[in-house]
Amino acid sequence: MAAKRKTETAGKDLAEAFSKPAEIKLTQTWLIGATPLITHAWSAKAKTEMLAKQVKGIKPAKAARDPEYEFRASLYEMGEDPVNGKQSYGFPAMGLKNAILSCAHKDKGVPKTAVMQSLWIVAPMVRTIPALGGAICDMPLLRIYGSEPEMREDMVKVGAGLNKTASFAYRAQFFTWAIRLRMKYNSSMLSETQLLALIRESGFATGIGEWRNERRGTFGAYTVGNVEEQLNWTKFATGKGPLPTPATFDDEAAFEMLEAA
């Protein structure tokens, strides 16, 4: 009975929230990487092979692996940076929104449906290479600021069921990274305080990219920058300051305090 009343109350609160007129507001913050970020975009080669298989095309002979190509193909390119003239890279905006949504729940007073419909991540549409010539594949990407991507080698299992075999994966890793997150949100359904709380929790509980906490890994974790950190990253992004030092969860300091207590 108590569970039923709780569900009815949550339903009424959600219905009341949806009945309010939309009040769209803007906000922004810097997400600062606390652990390295691993990206894994679909390569043009993988897309083409998948399409050929689905349309029953002739499967080409298996070519020798090219780790350098696989590393480069795992990056989401965003064109030349107007500040330094170098190639810039991004991360799918939907991946970050999913991380935030994973921490929303009606029991916290922020139902996932309400957050999904109240939050809009502002990101430029970038045209990626499709599998089919003549088709288009536009993807909203968030710019990654930080150190240059490095080639990462991992042991992985490929295949399905008992047919899995050991192999290597070559992907890009950003050791020091940050994302300037610009958002629109419906403040009649989601407050800025609730939104930032969800973002902070998602950086620890979920993460983004490969081998994140949500997928039994430790990569792609992030924090919401304080005033000084946000200023330093803004200076770096505009070419007016050096690369900031990597963020951490201050684990060592926390354990030192625990041991001293």
251 vs 253: CA distance, rounded Å: 6
**145 closest CA partner among 122, 125, 182, 175:** 175
pLDDT of 89 > 90? The answer is yes
The pTM of the full predicted model, rounded to 2 decimals, is 0.85
**Residue 237 pLDDT:** 96
CB atoms under 10 Å from CB of 187, counted, come to 16
**Residue 41 pLDDT:** 94
Report the b/e string of 88-125 with b at 16+ CB within 10 A.
bbbbbbeebbebbbbbbebeeebbeebbeebbebebee
The pair of structure tokens assigned to 92 is 């799918």
Q: How confident is the model at residue 111 (pLDDT cuts 50, 70, 90)?
A: very high
Higher pLDDT, residue 187 or 46: 187
Higher pLDDT, residue 157 or 175: 175
| Least confident window among 22-36, 47-61, 83-97, 113-127 | 47-61
Average per-residue pLDDT for the chain: 89
First to last CA, the chain: 44
pLDDT of 42 > 70? The answer is yes
Q: What is the mean pLDDT of residues 3-19?
A: 60
Percent of all residues in the chain with a pLDDT value above 70, rounded to a whole number: 86
